[in-house]
Chains A and B, each alone.
Chain A
């Protein structure tokens, strides 16, 4: 069916043909694979139409504009997490489709075409890394970190909004690729020469290049912002060694972002030059060398692993300490371990291609460097264990995720050390063993952490506790689903089954593929449980409000505000004199102090320019993908114009009058006075209004 289709009106629509619409393809060739493709495209369109209809029906366009133009770090953080959850849903469904295909395609072509399957593993990986994990962790850092260090916003609120709009633009481009054209089949790492013009002349790799480029520029900006905020905006007395552990891991992650994202931007830019302007950086001929791509990509790719995992480590530190009602054990050790991981993460990238033919000495050095990272990571696990030791552990949902993480992550560490040993990597590289390993690190290490953080800080952000029961069901499904879906992949990898395989010719693999398929379905139930939990929590919101702000007997400053916190975070910037300022402060009866007088507070005004840059970035990317040069040129000019216009805006801040601050603060203090302090035994009941009992 591969007939050549001629472009329609190329001056305007570039290389678009009718055949680029999945509906047309499904109409011409109605097999399961094309129908699934058309169905996915319909979901995107239906989702878009329903959103527009609801916004119109409930007259919420104003609210939407208010949010997307906001420079408030809290709103930006929430929007990041919202993007991440939407993208998570898509990528989980893709994973389930792939598992079903592999279970069905044993000695049989299965129901997905090979090409469709390849697009699925490429989008699944790209989305999970760039548009699920990155926005999720950036969002949580955005929301929580300024509150934890006693700041009123990020260092660069406008750049923060630009970063969000670029990431959002990248995510939208991923969604658009479902409806118009096709995605890359070159995997999330996009290795040339396969993704070069000679072997993939279609739009797929271009979608990948520009989506990733938008995301990586957004992340670089985000990293700079986070680092500067921590360096410059800590409250008086908040020395580095008094920062909550989550701030330390955020700092390390942001430093990694600043140094690791540029190599990716360079790699995708060079690949784009190859594809658009006939350069030969990574082509087979005329001096191109794909090994340079592999080095550049993993120079980003390995630190990226720690960009993803360190914030989760920070969340676990907060959660374990809070739900053990105990100081974090070995704070200094944890800081040192975090920093050690951050530095070492730049010294191990070659282990992603031990099999590229370099000398045994090079492989030895990188193998040993890789195993060395195991030491600080192991130290962290024990620090959490000793934090529970002599504590009073409460098995809340975030704590359950933390415990499951510790036990499961060690298995991933085990197989990670195996992969770090070059002779063993020669056997397991590129097999499902590797796939099992990195999912074993990222699902417990990253996703459980972010879900723990989501459950832990949700009441802070929205003033409502999430439903406990559905949280536990989701937790159980995530854990059972993970073990069922990924332990069989270790076996299959050890049996030599290559990754990215759409068809299986070895009947002996069948039982393991079935188990893995069942696991994927359980993970789908986990995702569904999260959706149910959110819906139930919204319905029951009035019973579970924690406006007073401290539902978990928290330790750090974010809990010392109302839930949700006021736009300015702190009416009076707190003074910090210890590592657990709020926990100690409320026990000394010093924290909930009503002031007689409040000052006016200046906060950043909303801005349309930052949003425009994201929209124009999306336009430029779409124009480049489809060779609609007019669109790309206009959009790039639009970005430049927005930057220039913004530089003329003088009135960037708005003042909240003292009377308004006072009114907000008095309302909160009245609520604090009215609330009943509760003990930890009833924290999951409606009696929890967010005021913790502090008598010993």
Chain B
């Protein structure tokens, strides 16, 4: 029974970073394990010393020293201040390059052509536009395994946050603005994506599958999508903009610069700095 419970418990962790399925997430998992290892040097001494010293120097123990006026020692001060400073310096040395390397804005090298995806957060669904391929999906993100995925994000409603627990971290999607995220998937499979920023009534249901496919399967999927004969037109967009939930959908065509129009329509036009972070950081 207990074994079963523990086994069940580990099943939960399979949905997260410890079961990383892409290069970004693998970096992050590696960093997590490394940092946790270092932090054991902070945690273990305290967990040992607190009960040990409290118990040894308990009032009823008459076999220990009692020095009520002893309250300072330069040696101990050294032990107290220097190791934590050392650990923080060490972590800082780790943190700096890791933050540069795992910056969600940094494009990933991968096998083959990058796939561009434009994600739009709506209540309570995600729209994914493939500007290169001219198709769009709702509540499913189909990607070819191995190839780098460049995601641009915005929101057609309140602020949301796109998290791919096993593939990458998360980045906010904000109306009138463009943020970016880059990742790749190691192998074909189905992984979870979700909004983690509370966005209203059906927030809990705002989850979608990331479907990673082999190259040929992805090509076949694109062909099928183009063949549905259902474009993302005004009517379809009006339906999506309503506050509701929906199952996965596929659109065969998308008007040009649709994503930019959404940014402009939700405030970007009057924004003096519309998309300025992407402009500022186009080098990446």
Interface residues of A (CB under 8 A from B): 114-115, 118, 185-187, 191, 193-194, 199, 283-291, 324-333, 353, 355-360, 363-364, 367-368, 371-372, 374-375, 378-379, 381-383, 385-395, 403, 406-407, 410-411, 413-414, 417-418, 421-427, 429-431, 491-492, 494-496, 498-506, 508-512, 680-681
Known: A508-B11, A508-B14. A390 touches B70 (CB 8 A): yes
Pick from B47, B99, B158, B168: contact of A199, CB below 8 A: B158
Are A355 and B171 in touch, CB under 8 angstroms? Answer: yes
In the complex, how many angstroms separate the beta carbon of B6 from the nearest chain A beta carbon? 9
The answer to whether B9 touches A390 (Cβ under 8 A) is: no
Q: With a CB–CB cut-off of 8 A, which chain A residues contact B17?
A: 427, 494, 496
How far, in Å, is A294 (CB) from chain B's closest CB? 9
Chain B contacts of A391 at CB under 8 A?
57, 66, 68
Q: Would you call B238 an interface residue if the criterion is a C-beta within 8 Å of the partner chain's C-beta atoms?
A: no
Q: A330-B77, A357-B179, A500-B203 are in contact. Are A495 and B170 (CB under 8 A)?
A: no
Q: Which chain A positions have C-beta within 8 A of B14?
A: 495, 508
Q: Apart from A326-B68, A500-B198, what 11 extra A-B contacts exist at CB < 8 Å?
A: A118-B201, A290-B159, A330-B77, A333-B81, A360-B100, A364-B96, A386-B80, A391-B57, A393-B59, A426-B170, A495-B15
Q: A506, B15: Cβ atoms under 8 Å?
A: yes
Interface residues of B (CB under 8 A from A): 5, 8-9, 11-18, 25, 27-28, 31-32, 35-36, 39, 42-43, 46-47, 49-51, 53-55, 57-59, 64-73, 76-77, 79-81, 84-85, 88, 91-92, 94-96, 98-106, 157-159, 161, 163, 165-166, 168-172, 174-177, 179-180, 192, 194-205, 207, 266-267, 270-272, 277, 280-281
* Interface pair B12/A423, CB less than 8 Å apart: no
A356:B13 contact, CB within 8 angstroms? no
> Contact at A194–B95, with CB atoms within 8 Å?
no
**CB neighbours of A394 from chain B (8 A):** 58-59
Contacts A/B (CB < 8 Å), 25 sampled: A193-B175, A284-B267, A285-B176, A290-B159, A327-B69, A330-B71, A332-B72, A356-B179, A368-B92, A379-B84, A385-B50, A386-B80, A388-B54, A391-B68, A407-B50, A422-B95, A422-B102, A423-B27, A423-B98, A427-B163, A430-B170, A431-B196, A494-B18, A498-B196, A506-B15
Contacts of A356 in B (CB 8 A): 172, 174, 179
Candidate in B12, B17, B25, B176 with the most chain A CB atoms within 10 angstroms: B12
Write the nearest CB–CB distance from B3 to chain A, whole angstroms. 12
* Chain B, residue nearest A382 (CB): B80
Chain B residue, CB-CB nearest to A195: B158
B277 and A357 contacting across the interface, CB-CB below 8 Å: yes
Complex: how many Å from CA A185 to CA B36? 35
| Contact B68 A496, beta carbon cutoff 8 Å | no
Let me know if A430 and B277 touch, CB within 8 A. Answer: no
> Which B residues touch A285, using CB under 8 A?
176, 266-267, 270
Contacts across chains A and B counted by CB atoms under 8 Å: 306
Q: Is the CB of A194 within 8 A of B158?
A: yes
Closest A residue to B199 by CB, please name it.
Answer: A194
Query: A393: which B residues are within 8 A, CB to CB?
Result: 54-55, 57-59
Chain A residues with CB below 8 A from B266, complex form: 284-285
Known: A114-B204, A194-B158, A391-B66. A426 touches B88 (CB 8 A): no
Contact: A364 with B201, CB < 8 Å?
no
CB distance from B86 to the nearest CB of A (A): 10
Chain B's nearest CB lies how many Å from the CB of A85?
A: 28
Q: Are B161 and A430 in contact (CB under 8 A)?
A: yes
- A510: chain B residues at CB < 8 Å are 8
Chain B neighbourhood of A403, CB < 8 A: 50-51, 54
Could you say which residues of chain B place their CB within 8 Å of the CB of A288?
A: 267
- Nearest A residue to B179 via CB reads A357
Are A407 and B174 interface neighbours, CB within 8 A? Answer: no
CB distance from A306 to the nearest CB of B (A): 18
Query: Do the beta carbons of A355 and B95 come within 8 Å of each other?
Result: no
Q: Which residues of B contact A331 (CB under 8 A)?
A: 71-72
| Complex contacts, B28 vs chain A, CB 8 Å | 423-424, 426-427
* A129 and B245 alpha carbons, distance in the complex (Å): 33
Query: Quick check: A389 and B161 within 8 Å, CB to CB?
Result: no
Please give me the 4 A-B residue pairs with the lowest Cβ-Cβ distance, nearest first: A426-B169, A496-B165, A430-B196, A423-B102
A289 and B273 alpha carbons, distance in the complex (Å): 10
Inter-chain contacts of A506 with B (CB < 8 A): 12, 15
Q: Are A417 and B96 in contact (CB under 8 A)?
A: no
Residue of B35, B42, B100 touching A424 (CB-CB under 8 A): B35
User: B198 contacts which chain A residues (CB < 8 A)?
Assistant: 118, 185-187, 194, 499-500
Say which residue of A328, A355, A495, A501 sits within 8 Å of B203 (CB atoms): A501
Q: CB < 8 Å: which of A328, A374, A424 contacts B71?
A: A328
> Main secondary structure on chain A at its contact with chain B?
helix
Given contacts A325-B68, A392-B66, A680-B59, contact A287 B95 (CB under 8 A): no
Q: Which of A193, A374, A498, A502 has the most CB of B within 10 A?
A: A498
Q: Contact check: which of A187, A358, A395, A429 meets B170 at CB < 8 Å?
A: A429
A329–B196 contact, CB under 8 A?
A: no
Q: A286-B267, A364-B95, A422-B99 are in contact. Are A353 and B172 (CB under 8 A)?
A: yes
Shortest distance in angstroms between A694's beta carbon and chain B's nearest beta carbon? 12
Is the Cβ of B36 less than 8 Å from the Cβ of A418? yes
Which residues of chain B come closer than 8 Å to A429, judged between CB atoms?
Answer: 161, 169-170, 196
In angstroms, how far is the closest chain B Cβ from the Cβ of A48?
Answer: 31
Point out the residue from A193, A371, A388 that lies within 8 Å of B95, measured CB to CB.
A371
A512 to B8, CA, bound (A): 9
Complex CA gap A679/B92 in Å reads 50
A286 to B25, CA, bound (A): 38
Contacts known (A375-B84, A423-B102); A498 close to B267, Cβ less than 8 A: no
A449 CB, min distance to chain B CBs, angstroms: 15
Please give me the residue from chain A that is nearest to B66 by CB atom. Answer: A392
CB pair B157–A199 under 8 Å, yes or no, is yes
Do A495 and B13 have beta carbons less than 8 Å apart?
yes
Asked if residues B65 and A390 are in contact (CB atoms below 8 Å), the reply is yes
Given contacts A423-B102, A429-B196, A501-B204, contact A417 B57 (CB under 8 A): no
- Nearest A residue to B193, CB-CB: A496
- A290–B159 CA distance with the chains assembled, in angstroms: 8
| A326–B54 alpha-carbon span in the complex (Å) | 13
Task: For residue B161, give the distance in angstroms from its CB to the closest CB of chain A.
Answer: 6
A406/B50 in contact, CB under 8 A: yes
Of the candidates B46, B159, B174, the one whose C-beta lies within 8 Å of that of A406 is B46
Bound form: Cα–Cα A495–B203 in Å: 18
Residue contact B85 to A421, C-beta cutoff 8 Å: no
Within the complex, what minimum Cβ distance (angstroms) separates A280 from chain B? 9
Residues of chain A within 8 A of B192, CB atoms compared: 496
Evaluate contact between A359 and B281: CB separation under 8 angstroms: yes
A346 CB → nearest B CB, Å: 18
Bound CA–CA A191/B174 (angstroms): 12
Name the A residues within 8 Å of B65 (CB-CB): 390
Q: What are the residues of chain A within 8 A of B64 when measuring CB–CB?
A: 390
Distance between Cα atoms of A324 and B50 in the complex (Å): 13
In the bound complex, what is the Cα–Cα distance between A425 and B281 (angstroms)?
A: 21
CB neighbours of A332 from chain B (8 A): 72
Residue of B nearest to A364 (CB): B99
* Other-chain residue from A187, A333, A423, A430 in contact with B31 (beta carbon distance below 8 A): A423
Flag if B100 contacts A355 (CB, 8 Å). no
Minimum CB–CB distance from A641 to chain B (whole Å) comes to 41
Residue of B nearest to A375 (CB): B84
A492's contact among B12, B18, B32, by CB below 8 Å, is which?
A: B12
* A381-B46, A424-B31, A495-B13 given; A289·B8 CB < 8 A: no
In the complex, which residues of chain B have a beta carbon less than 8 angstroms from the beta carbon of A681? 59
B39 touches A417 (CB 8 A): yes
* A425 / chain B contacts, CB cutoff of 8 Å: 169
What B residues does A185 contact at CB under 8 A? 198, 200
User: What is the CA–CA distance of A194 and B200 in the complex, to the nearest angstrom?
Assistant: 8
Choose from B12, B36, B81, B172 the contact partner of A357 (Cβ within 8 Å).
B172
Residues of chain A with a CB closer than 8 A to B91's CB? 371, 417, 421
Identify B169's interface contact among A360, A427, A499, A503, CB under 8 A. Answer: A427
Residues of A with C-beta under 8 A to B31: 421, 423-424
